[in-house]
Amino acid sequence: MWIYEKKLQYPVRVSTCNPRLAKYLIEQYGGADGELAAALRYLNQRYTLPPKVIGLLNDIGTEELAHLEMIATMVYKLTKDATPEQLKEAGLEPHYIDHERALFYHNAAGVPFTATYIQAKGDPITDLYEDIAAEEKARATYQWIINMSDDPDLNDGLRFLREREIIHAQRFREAVEILKEERNHKKVF
């Protein structure tokens, strides 16, 4: 189903060690509106969608896994040279105590990832509206992280991710229109 290329979807660079920015980015790693939740949501929902839009959810769900890899790389690069004292100052002390520098699926506040983040109603249009909302929330979160960041190299990758969220929301909107049009057609037997 997948072919893995050993390169990131978009280059990830950071200017300097910055554990505080890493803490913010962890929201997009294991938070409710983050990349893991999005990937799992879309790859799960595809099973109850009409054939006309299944491929879209498969494609976007797969891309979200690539985004998860980018976020993991950003967090790693922002923390790899940090001292325990710097991690403590950034509010990552509980994470360090439990996981050292290993990534763990939780949000910026340290709340572990949960399956309750993944929505699937079984109604295609309802699920697609949920997906549009998820993409818009992720877009907003990326913008807020950019607003908090003073790292131009990191911001380049964050802008790429923010723009991809916009594209995904647009594609989901198109899928809703396809399904609405299909629903409104008279079926003659």
Q: What is the CATH classification number for the domain harbouring 146?
A: 1.20.1260.10
Nearest to 75 by CA among 135, 162, 14, 1: 14
- What integer is the mean pLDDT of 108-129? 93
Confidence label for 189 from pLDDT (cuts 50, 70 and 90): low
- The DSSP code for 188 is -
Q: How many domains does the chain have?
A: 1
pLDDT of residue 71: 98
12 assigned to some structural domain: no
Q: Is 64 marked within a binding site?
A: yes
Per-residue model confidence (pLDDT) at position 185: 73
pTM for this structure? 0.93
CA 97, CA 52: separation in Å to the nearest integer?
A: 48
Looking at the domain assignment, is residue 39 inside a domain? yes
Q: Residue 14 falls within a domain, yes or no?
A: no
Asked if residue 185 belongs to a known ligand binding site, the reply is no
67 labeled binding residue: yes
Q: Is the pLDDT score of 31 beyond 80?
A: yes
Residue at 103 is within a domain: yes
pLDDT in the model for residue 184: 79
pLDDT at 63: 97
Work out whether the CA dihedral 2, 99, 151, 77 comes out positive or negative: negative
pLDDT in tens, 89-108: 999 999 999 998 899 999 99
Instruction: Tell whether residue 177 is among the known ligand binding residues.
Output: no
Q: Is 168 annotated as belonging to a binding site?
A: yes
What is the span of the domain harbouring residue 126?
19-180
> What radius of gyration, in Å, describes the C-alpha atoms of the chain?
18
Longest CA pairwise span in the chain (Å):
72
On whether 35 is known to bind a ligand per the annotation, the reply is yes
Q: What is the pLDDT of residue 5?
A: 83
Determine how many CB atoms are found less than 10 A away from the CB of residue 155: 20
Rounded CA separation 159/151 (Å): 12
Q: Look at residue 188 and tell me if it is in a domain.
A: no
Q: How far is CA 62 from the centre of its chain?
A: 11
Measured CA to CA in angstroms, residue 55 lies from 17, 73, 175 at distances of 39, 27, 11
6 in a structural domain: no
Rounded to whole angstroms, the Cα distance separating 73 from 79 reads 10
- Tell me, yes or no, whether 83 lies in a domain: yes
* Residue 9 belongs to some domain of the structure: no
Distance CA 168, CA 54 (A): 14
Give the percent of the chain with pLDDT over 90: 89
Q: With pLDDT > 70 as the criterion, what percentage of the chain qualifies?
A: 97
